[in-house]
Amino acid sequence: MSDEEKKRIDEKLKDKKEELRDDMFIGFNEAGEEKTFYKLLEFDSEETGKHYLAYTDNELDDNGNVKAYGSIVTYDGGYMKLEAITSEKEWKVIETALRVLQEELKEKKDEGKNE
């Protein structure tokens, strides 16, 4: 990440930092447009030795499901950098982690109904 990119990010985020919760982050597309994303799950994989982030922008797909994304997380100084997942093995790691999270949330919801 160039110093110019870091400066641009700092400039765009200076007013937003107080508005963001720990489970939120601002991302930028290739055109430099900002978008708020929400962290679903962040974890390290012993299998791949990498750090992953599953996240959403809360937009819905054509079937009414919330769109979810996954990326490899690296850091450049204090800046989080998201890299594309390129292997089927890594997608399986993300999908499995999200499935486990979904099952845990469903169990908690079901436990709340039984109380």
pTM strictly above 0.85: no
Backbone angles phi, psi at 20, to 5 degrees: -85, 135
pLDDT tens for 48-93 read: 999 999 999 888 999 998 888 899 999 888 888 899 999 999 999 9
- Per-residue burial over 87-113, b if 16 or more Cβ lie within 10 Å, else e, is eeebeebbeebeeeeeeeeeeeeeeee
